[in-house]
């Protein structure tokens, strides 16, 4: 199987998660401070190379009704530009409520408010990636041998 990198792109930070080699689980990897697209893309490309990722998933912040609002449109443009900068496929993936879920998990596990702020983006990226992995695993099981 291949490793997959996932991104939770925010205004100030980008949460990054990576899958295990079997594509079963996701874990938060790092939080990148955003600066310019060029520097962001260079940092992401370095992570793709370092972890030998064969695909990048970008969290797509759809509205609760499934529509693509202004933030989703910005992320779609960001993902298109990122795809031009990388040598691996870039795919959008629905991230509705991923940050809310990440904050809840961190709060329930007793992580302090200060540490939550530092980790929430990577945990949200892991939630996005885990959702992607499970959907594709279920699709593979339904398709059968």
pLDDT tens by residue, 104-144: 666 676 666 666 556 777 888 998 998 899 888 765 545 54
6-56 residue pLDDT tens: 999 999 999 999 999 999 999 999 999 999 999 999 999 999 999 999 999
Q: What is the pTM of this model?
A: 0.84
**Domain assignments of the chain as residue spans, ordered by start:** 3-143
Res 136: pLDDT: 83
Q: What integer is the mean pLDDT of 61-65?
A: 81
pLDDT reading at 97 higher than 60:
no
Determine the topology of domain 3-143 in CATH. Nucleotidyltransferase; domain 5 (3.30.420)
What is the three-state SS of the chain?
Answer: CCEEEEEEECCCEEEEEEECCCCCCEEEEEEEECCCHHHHHHHHHHHHHHCCEEEEEEEECCCCCCCCCHHHHHHHHHHHHHHHHCCCCEEEEECCCHHHHHHHHHHHCCCCHHHHHHHHHHHHHHHHHHHHHHHHHHHHHHHCC
* Percent with pLDDT over 70 in the chain: 78
Round the average pLDDT of the chain to a whole number and report it: 85
């Amino acid at each position: 199987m291949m490793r997959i990198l996932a991104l939770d792109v925010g205004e100030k930070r980008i949460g990054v998660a990576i899958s295990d080699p079997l594509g079963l689980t996701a874990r938060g990897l790092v939080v990148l401070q955003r600066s310019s697209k060029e520097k962001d893309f260079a940092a992401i490309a370095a992570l793709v190379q370092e972890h030998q990722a064969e695909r990048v998933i970008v969290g797509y912040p759809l509205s609760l009704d499934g529509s693509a609002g202004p933030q989703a449109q910005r992320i779609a443009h960001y993902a298109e530009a990122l795809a031009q900068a990388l040598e691996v496929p870039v795919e959008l993936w629905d991230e509705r409520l991923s940050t809310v879920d990440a904050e809840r998990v961190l709060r329930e596990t007793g992580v302090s408010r200060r540490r939550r702020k530092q980790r929430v983006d990577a945990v949200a990226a892991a939630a996005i990636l885990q959702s992607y992995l499970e959907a594709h695993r279920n699709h593979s099981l339904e398709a059968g041998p």
